[in-house]
Structure 1
Amino acid sequence: MSKSFDMELFLSAVLTGSHATRQRHLRQAKLIQAEISERWQLETPWAWKKKHVAWFLGHRLASRCEATRYYYLLTVRLLARRLEKPWVFKC
Protein backbone atom coordinates (compact mmCIF):
# COMPACT_ATOMS: atom_id res chain seq x y z
CA MET A 1 0.00 0.00 0.00
CA SER A 2 1.51 3.30 -1.05
CA LYS A 3 1.11 6.57 0.83
CA SER A 4 -0.58 9.47 -0.89
CA PHE A 5 1.55 12.45 -1.82
CA ASP A 6 1.59 15.17 0.85
CA MET A 7 1.17 18.47 -0.98
CA GLU A 8 1.34 20.45 2.27
CA LEU A 9 4.77 19.06 3.08
CA PHE A 10 5.89 19.58 -0.53
CA LEU A 11 4.92 23.28 -0.55
CA SER A 12 5.87 24.10 3.04
CA ALA A 13 9.27 25.49 1.98
CA VAL A 14 7.76 28.09 -0.35
CA LEU A 15 4.42 28.93 1.30
CA THR A 16 4.27 32.37 2.88
CA GLY A 17 1.56 34.83 3.76
CA SER A 18 -1.51 34.65 5.93
CA HIS A 19 -3.14 31.41 7.01
CA ALA A 20 -5.98 31.92 4.52
CA THR A 21 -3.53 32.46 1.65
CA ARG A 22 -1.54 29.35 2.54
CA GLN A 23 -4.75 27.30 2.75
CA ARG A 24 -5.92 28.61 -0.64
CA HIS A 25 -2.61 27.67 -2.28
CA LEU A 26 -2.77 24.19 -0.73
CA ARG A 27 -6.36 23.66 -1.83
CA GLN A 28 -5.59 24.80 -5.37
CA ALA A 29 -2.37 22.75 -5.57
CA LYS A 30 -4.28 19.64 -4.49
CA LEU A 31 -6.87 20.27 -7.20
CA ILE A 32 -4.14 20.75 -9.81
CA GLN A 33 -2.52 17.52 -8.65
CA ALA A 34 -5.82 15.64 -8.82
CA GLU A 35 -6.63 16.88 -12.34
CA ILE A 36 -3.16 16.07 -13.70
CA SER A 37 -3.19 12.71 -11.94
CA GLU A 38 -6.56 11.84 -13.46
CA ARG A 39 -5.53 12.91 -16.97
CA TRP A 40 -1.94 11.58 -17.12
CA GLN A 41 -1.61 9.28 -14.07
CA LEU A 42 1.26 11.39 -12.72
CA GLU A 43 0.91 11.32 -8.96
CA THR A 44 3.62 13.76 -7.87
CA PRO A 45 4.72 17.18 -9.11
CA TRP A 46 8.22 15.78 -9.62
CA ALA A 47 6.87 13.86 -12.64
CA TRP A 48 5.09 16.84 -14.19
CA LYS A 49 6.31 18.67 -17.25
CA LYS A 50 5.41 22.18 -18.29
CA LYS A 51 2.85 20.84 -20.78
CA HIS A 52 0.84 19.21 -17.97
CA VAL A 53 0.55 22.44 -16.02
CA ALA A 54 -0.13 24.43 -19.20
CA TRP A 55 -2.95 21.99 -20.02
CA PHE A 56 -4.50 22.57 -16.61
CA LEU A 57 -4.28 26.35 -16.93
CA GLY A 58 -5.50 26.40 -20.51
CA HIS A 59 -8.21 23.78 -20.56
CA ARG A 60 -9.47 23.16 -17.05
CA LEU A 61 -9.64 26.87 -16.17
CA ALA A 62 -10.81 28.16 -19.56
CA SER A 63 -14.37 28.80 -18.39
CA ARG A 64 -13.36 30.40 -15.09
CA CYS A 65 -13.24 34.12 -14.45
CA GLU A 66 -10.01 36.07 -14.81
CA ALA A 67 -9.52 36.43 -11.05
CA THR A 68 -9.74 32.66 -10.52
CA ARG A 69 -7.22 32.00 -13.29
CA TYR A 70 -4.90 34.57 -11.71
CA TYR A 71 -5.03 32.91 -8.29
CA TYR A 72 -4.31 29.52 -9.85
CA LEU A 73 -1.39 31.09 -11.73
CA LEU A 74 0.04 32.27 -8.41
CA THR A 75 -0.20 28.71 -7.08
CA VAL A 76 1.48 27.36 -10.22
CA ARG A 77 4.31 29.83 -9.71
CA LEU A 78 4.80 28.45 -6.19
CA LEU A 79 4.86 24.91 -7.56
CA ALA A 80 7.44 25.91 -10.18
CA ARG A 81 9.57 27.62 -7.53
CA ARG A 82 9.46 24.52 -5.35
CA LEU A 83 10.38 22.30 -8.32
CA GLU A 84 13.13 24.76 -9.26
CA LYS A 85 11.79 24.98 -12.81
CA PRO A 86 12.02 28.12 -14.99
CA TRP A 87 8.39 27.80 -16.12
CA VAL A 88 6.64 30.99 -17.15
CA PHE A 89 2.91 31.09 -17.87
CA LYS A 90 0.64 33.92 -18.94
CA CYS A 91 -2.69 34.68 -17.31
Structure 2
Amino acid sequence: MSQPFDMDLFLDGVLRGSYSTRQRHLRQAKLIQAELSKRWQLETPWAWKRKHVAWFLDHRLAERSQATRYYYLLTVQLLTRRLEKSWVFHS
Protein backbone atom coordinates (compact mmCIF):
# COMPACT_ATOMS: atom_id res chain seq x y z
CA MET A 1 0.00 0.00 0.00
CA SER A 2 1.47 3.37 -0.99
CA GLN A 3 1.65 6.42 1.24
CA PRO A 4 -0.48 9.46 0.37
CA PHE A 5 1.45 12.36 -1.15
CA ASP A 6 2.73 14.84 1.46
CA MET A 7 2.32 18.36 0.08
CA ASP A 8 3.81 19.84 3.27
CA LEU A 9 7.06 18.00 2.69
CA PHE A 10 7.01 18.75 -1.05
CA LEU A 11 6.81 22.54 -0.52
CA ASP A 12 9.02 22.67 2.56
CA GLY A 13 12.08 23.89 0.66
CA VAL A 14 10.36 26.80 -1.10
CA LEU A 15 7.93 28.08 1.56
CA ARG A 16 8.88 31.39 3.08
CA GLY A 17 7.11 34.08 5.05
CA SER A 18 4.91 34.16 8.09
CA TYR A 19 3.17 31.14 9.53
CA SER A 20 -0.22 32.22 8.15
CA THR A 21 1.23 32.76 4.67
CA ARG A 22 2.83 29.30 4.67
CA GLN A 23 -0.45 27.75 5.85
CA ARG A 24 -2.39 29.53 3.09
CA HIS A 25 0.03 28.25 0.43
CA LEU A 26 -0.22 24.71 1.80
CA ARG A 27 -4.02 24.84 1.94
CA GLN A 28 -4.23 26.16 -1.62
CA ALA A 29 -1.65 23.67 -2.94
CA LYS A 30 -3.63 20.80 -1.40
CA LEU A 31 -6.81 22.08 -3.03
CA ILE A 32 -5.05 22.32 -6.41
CA GLN A 33 -3.75 18.78 -5.94
CA ALA A 34 -7.22 17.50 -5.04
CA GLU A 35 -8.84 19.16 -8.06
CA LEU A 36 -6.23 17.85 -10.49
CA SER A 37 -6.42 14.41 -8.93
CA LYS A 38 -10.20 14.37 -9.29
CA ARG A 39 -10.14 15.62 -12.89
CA TRP A 40 -7.12 13.74 -14.32
CA GLN A 41 -6.17 11.19 -11.62
CA LEU A 42 -2.77 12.87 -11.23
CA GLU A 43 -1.83 12.20 -7.64
CA THR A 44 1.48 14.07 -7.41
CA PRO A 45 2.77 17.36 -8.79
CA TRP A 46 5.50 15.46 -10.64
CA ALA A 47 2.80 14.16 -13.02
CA TRP A 48 1.30 17.59 -13.70
CA LYS A 49 1.78 19.43 -16.96
CA ARG A 50 1.38 23.12 -17.55
CA LYS A 51 -2.02 22.58 -19.19
CA HIS A 52 -3.39 20.96 -16.02
CA VAL A 53 -2.41 23.89 -13.81
CA ALA A 54 -3.63 26.38 -16.43
CA TRP A 55 -7.00 24.56 -16.47
CA PHE A 56 -7.26 24.96 -12.71
CA LEU A 57 -6.46 28.68 -12.87
CA ASP A 58 -8.78 29.34 -15.82
CA HIS A 59 -11.76 27.16 -14.96
CA ARG A 60 -11.84 26.43 -11.26
CA LEU A 61 -11.07 30.02 -10.26
CA ALA A 62 -13.15 31.73 -12.95
CA GLU A 63 -15.87 32.83 -10.52
CA ARG A 64 -13.47 33.88 -7.76
CA SER A 65 -12.38 37.40 -6.96
CA GLN A 66 -9.27 38.95 -8.47
CA ALA A 67 -7.56 38.81 -5.07
CA THR A 68 -8.25 35.08 -4.69
CA ARG A 69 -6.89 34.37 -8.17
CA TYR A 70 -3.78 36.39 -7.32
CA TYR A 71 -3.10 34.38 -4.15
CA TYR A 72 -3.56 31.10 -6.04
CA LEU A 73 -1.18 32.39 -8.70
CA LEU A 74 1.43 32.96 -5.98
CA THR A 75 0.96 29.38 -4.80
CA VAL A 76 1.27 28.09 -8.37
CA GLN A 77 4.52 30.03 -8.71
CA LEU A 78 5.84 28.22 -5.62
CA LEU A 79 4.79 24.87 -7.07
CA THR A 80 6.47 25.76 -10.37
CA ARG A 81 9.68 26.73 -8.58
CA ARG A 82 9.64 23.48 -6.59
CA LEU A 83 9.09 21.45 -9.77
CA GLU A 84 11.96 23.35 -11.41
CA LYS A 85 9.79 24.19 -14.42
CA SER A 86 9.79 27.37 -16.49
CA TRP A 87 6.01 27.68 -16.61
CA VAL A 88 4.64 31.22 -16.70
CA PHE A 89 1.05 32.05 -15.80
CA HIS A 90 -0.62 35.43 -15.98
CA SER A 91 -3.47 36.63 -13.83
TM-score by length of 2: 0.99
The percentage of counterpart residues that share the same residue type is 78
| Alpha-carbon distance between aligned partners in 1 of 2:7 and 2:56, rounded to the nearest angstrom | 17
Instruction: Please report how far the alpha carbon of residue 63 of structure 1 lies from its aligned counterpart in structure 2 after TM superposition.
Output: 0.2
Instruction: Please report how far the alpha carbon of residue 2 of structure 1 lies from its aligned counterpart in structure 2 after TM superposition.
Output: 1.6
Taking the TM superposition and a 5 Å limit, the aligned residue runs for 1:1-91 are 1-91=1-91
| Alpha-carbon distance between aligned partners in 2 of 1:9 and 1:78, rounded to the nearest angstrom | 13
Q: How many residues align?
A: 91
Instruction: Kindly provide the CA deviation profile for residues 3-36 of structure 1, in whole angstroms up to 9, marking residues without a partner as x.
Output: 1100000000000000000000000000000000
Instruction: Please report how far the alpha carbon of residue 73 of structure 1 lies from its aligned counterpart in structure 2 after TM superposition.
Output: 0.1
TM-score by length of 1: 0.99
Gap regions ≥5 residues in structure 2: none
Runs of 4+ in 1 over 3 A off after TM superposition: none
Q: Secondary structure at the match of 1:17?
A: coil
**Corresponding letter in the other structure for 1:19:** Y
